[in-house]
A = this chain, B = another copy of it.
Amino acid sequence: MVYKVNVNTGKRCAMIDITAEVQKIVTESGVEDGICMVYIPHTTAAVTINENADPDVVRDMLYELDKIVPYSDGYKHFEGNSAAHIKSSMFGFSENVIIDSGRLLLGRWQGIYLCEFDGARSRTVYLKIIDSGR
C-alpha cells in the first residue's frame, strides 16, 4: 500500500513543512515500529529534513542554494529549469524516518520538508510504511 499527500507549493522555490501530514498517515496506518519512507515522484522537487523553529533557516537555505546553483548558467535543457534538477538531486528524492511507538522519531528541531525548486505547482508525495514488527 502506498499513501499519497498532495501539496500546492505556491512559489518558484519553497520548503513546505509536511510533518503533520506524514504523522497523520503513520497514525492511521496503525504501525507501531518501523520506517516511513517519504518519496517524491518528481525531478524538480525534493524532500529534506531540517529546522522547523526559525523560518529564517528555510529562507537562508533557499537563498544560498540559488547562489550555489544559479538559475541561469549556460544550461542547454530547453525547459530552462536545470538548476531545479540539480538542487533536487543534491537534496534527494527520499527520506526515511524511524517510526517508534507509532510516532515519527524526529529530532527536537526537525521537520520534514517538501522542497519546491520549479514551482508553483501541485506536487505529490508518496509514503511507504515498513512495519519492522518490534
Contact = CB atoms under 8 A, between A and B. Distances in A.
Interface of A: 1-2, 33-35, 37, 39-43, 48-51, 54, 56-57, 59-61, 63-65, 67-69, 73-79, 82-83, 85-86, 88-98, 100, 105-110, 126, 128-132, 134
A109 B59 contact: no
Nearest to A42: B107
Contact of A41 (B64, B86, B106, B126): B106
A132 B2 CA distance: 11
Given A42-B107, A69-B68, A96-B37, A89 B50 contact: yes
- Identical chains bound together, number: 3
Given A39-B96, A90-B91, 17 more contacts: A2-B100, A34-B130, A41-B106, A43-B109, A49-B93, A50-B89, A54-B78, A56-B78, A60-B85, A61-B82, A61-B85, A63-B75, A64-B75, A65-B86, A90-B90, A93-B95, A128-B132
